[in-house]
Structures are given as C-alpha cells and as structure tokens.
Amino acid sequence: MPAIMSSARRSAPLSTAPSATPSPNLPVAAGDAIACDLFCAVIDNFGDIGVCWRLARQLTSEHGWQVRLFVDDLHAFRKLCPALDVSRSRQAVSGIVIEHWREPAHVGDTLEVADVVIEAFGCELPHVYVAAMARRERAPVWLNLEYLSAEDWVADFHLRQSPHSRYPLTKTFFFPGLAAGTGGVLKERHLDAARAAFEASPQAREAWWRQTTGQPAPGPEVTVISLFSYENPALDSLLGQWSESADPIVLLVPEGRISAAVARFFGLPSFAAGSHAGRGKLRAHALAFTDQAGYDALLWASHFNFVRGEDSFVRAQWAARPFVWHIYPQSDDAHLPKLDAALAHYAGPLPAPARAALGRFWHAWNGVGEPDWADFSGPRALFEQRAAAWAQELAGLGDLAGNLAGFAKSQLK
C-alpha cells in the first residue's frame, strides 16, 4: 500500500519516502496554505478538464491553495495546457502539481491526503485514497463538484451531504448554477478588466486578428461569429443562410468536431487550422485549437458566439455577447429541460418577441426545428443589451472558486 503523508504539502517532498502513520491533522490556521487534491476523469471532449484546470489555477492564484490535480488523459489536457509534458507522471505547471491518474487504483507513489478533496463530476476516487482519508486524524473536506445546471432543483441539492457507507467520511455535493442558492460559475477576478482592455484597444484587436487569422480586423459593417459546436445537422442550412446574407459575415471556426462539415459546405477536403474559404457574403477562417485565455479573446472579438458543453457556455456569458448554446445531447432528449432552464434565466427579461426568437433558434440548433438566422438576428440590439445585463446579474452570485473556497474554509475551522 502506498505511504500516507499529512496535508502539510508545503513541506512534503515529491519522493516516495514512506510514512508509517499519518501525521496529526490540525485545523488549518489563518494564513496557512490549504492543500487540495482535485480528481478529474476526462470523459469526452475538453469540458471536464477545462473546468478543473480553471478551478485549480484560480484556487492557486487567487486563494493561495496548494493544488494537486489528478488527470487520467494528459493528451487531452495538453490541448488546453501546452506546457504539459505528457511523458511525465508527475510535474508542476503554473504552481500546480499534476499527476497522471493512469488507472482507477493509482493515486501516485506516495499518498498525500489533502485538507480538501474534490471529486469532479462524479469520478470515483481510488479506494486506497478513500481508505487513507478515513485513517486521517482529521477527515478532509470532501466535495463532489457536479455538472452545471440551471434547473430549479439544483438549489435544493447544493451543499447536501452524503455519509460514506463504510468509512466515517461525509461527502458534500457542490453544484454550479445560474441562480441564488447554488455555487455559481467560475470567473477569475481579472476577467472583466482583461475584456475591457481588449475592447478598448484597437491595436490589441488588430494584433489578435492578424495573429489568429492572418488577416486584418474586419470593418464595422461585418458581423463576426465564432462557431464552437458538436456535430450538428442544422449547420448546412445555417451556413447557406449566412452565405446569402445581405451583409458580410466572418465566421471563426476553432479546429474540431465541426470542421469536417464546414469543409464539405465549401467543397474542400478539410478545414484545418489556417484554412480560409468563402461563398457569397460568408468568409470563414479555421483557427488552431487555443488555450483558455486565447478562447476568451475569440469570444470578445465576435459579435455572436456559438458554444458547446459547459466550459465555453460559461465563458460566453462572461463575454457579454449574444450566444447560442449547443448543450451536450443526452438520450431521450433529457438535455432539453436543461436548455429551457438556462433560457428561462437568461432570456426571461427580454420582450416577448425577442425572447421567442431566441428560444426558437436555441431549440433549432439543438435539433428541434430549423434555424432561421434572419429571425434570430433581428433583435440583435436587444440581445446585446441583455447579454451585458446578464453578465452583471450572474456576477452577483459570486464565483464558483470563491464560493467553494469559502465553504471549505468554514469546514476546516
């Protein structure tokens, strides 16, 4: 069995020196760094690791925590963190220790049981680690970070506790959400200032366009749309509408699951990063997969943003631009009530015609009906106003990392 080390990771070595018994685990004193282990299994795409990487960095940089991140797929992770060396089982990036979680039982050669243990999105902790948690003199704060949902029931289940069936441990469910009584969503303290600086600087925007697309920034008459999506049968219709638009449209497409369909529309064998294509009023640029900071800039550079899953859905809201959400599809259309719940929060204050147009388009993009760009883009000014107002309302909930850190500290007193 791996050795067990105390939570005092600030002095704990990265070696495999054994420890016969855990050291006493006293309450965390004011000013002491909180040690946190964050476990992430990359189920599909980049959403799971995207959220976990943001959370790990924010807990480290803004709250002074010492975070160790367990990830089972370093290759997927490296897309978001180019500094990562996929050949190393343990390394430090941005002040965060990263462990390659190679198999369910593996938690590193030395067990360092943290003050706070975060089990992201229901991934099952290794049994040996749970047993080590139970042997600790002071049990860690154990949080199950759930997926984001805007449904009403989330507030009722946020911070509910579940005792372990075998050990004297209690897990607390921490739910992100879009309403009061939930954990909120991730937002770094510097984000608004960074967006404002980008928007206020023509030089920064011009430099971004030339570096990202190889082209100058388009003029004010052009509508810029970013497209980050799962495969979508509605895409051909929408591309056709954009190509026949009265006004020019520039489409920015991060390389990924939608690229093959874009290539087919333009009659190209592929639409890899660096590719350009045009038809009618539509001009499209294929972008290289970017890190998270680069994706934020893409959202800020666009007038409309098509996003997918959870992480980009949240970032689109902070970008304060109109957006369209491709929610992760589930069997029996179980995702549609979640889509409607988000619409209720986001679109509720809009005038009825604009609210209906937004709902029709979101549903069409998610397989219910046909997308009508003219119908959707007509109330653009109202959507822009609502996007800015919603970002302020959402910020009123506090950010997820801050809310989580505050709760954990209250349990460690």
Q: Which residues are catalytic?
A: 48, 310
| 99: amino acid identity, one letter | E
Q: How many CB atoms lie within 10 A of CB 182?
A: 24
- Bridge partners (DSSP) of residue 162 are 171
Helices (H) and strands (E) in the chain, counts: 15, 16
**CA 29 – CA 268 distance, rounded (Å):** 61
Closest CA to 282 of 265, 261, 304, 305: 265
Q: Are strands 66-71 and 35-40 parallel, antiparallel or unpaired?
A: parallel
220: three-class secondary structure by DSSP: coil
Residues contacting 12, CB < 8 A, separation 6+: 5, 6, 112
- Bridge partners (DSSP) of residue 279 are 282
What stretches of 38-167 show up as alpha helix (H) in DSSP? 47-63, 74-80, 127-135, 153-157
Q: Can you tell me which residue has the tokens 């990487």?
A: 53
Q: DSSP string of 271-307?
A: --TT-EEEETTEEEEEE----HHHHHHHHHH-SEEEE
Q: Which two tokens stand for residue 288?
A: 């290289």
Q: Which two tokens stand for residue 59?
A: 């807990």
On whether the CB atoms of residues 54 and 61 are closer than 8 A, the answer is no
**CA 224 – CA 26 distance, rounded (Å):** 55
Q: What angle do CA 305, 201, 387 make, to 5 degrees?
A: 30
**CA 306 – CA 324 distance, rounded (Å):** 5
What is the CB-side half-sphere exposure of residue 406 using CA atoms within 13 A?
9
**CA 411 – CA 413 distance, rounded (Å):** 6
What is the CB-side half-sphere exposure of residue 148 using CA atoms within 13 A?
24
Beta strands in 127-275 (DSSP E): 141-145, 161-163, 170-174, 223-227, 249-254
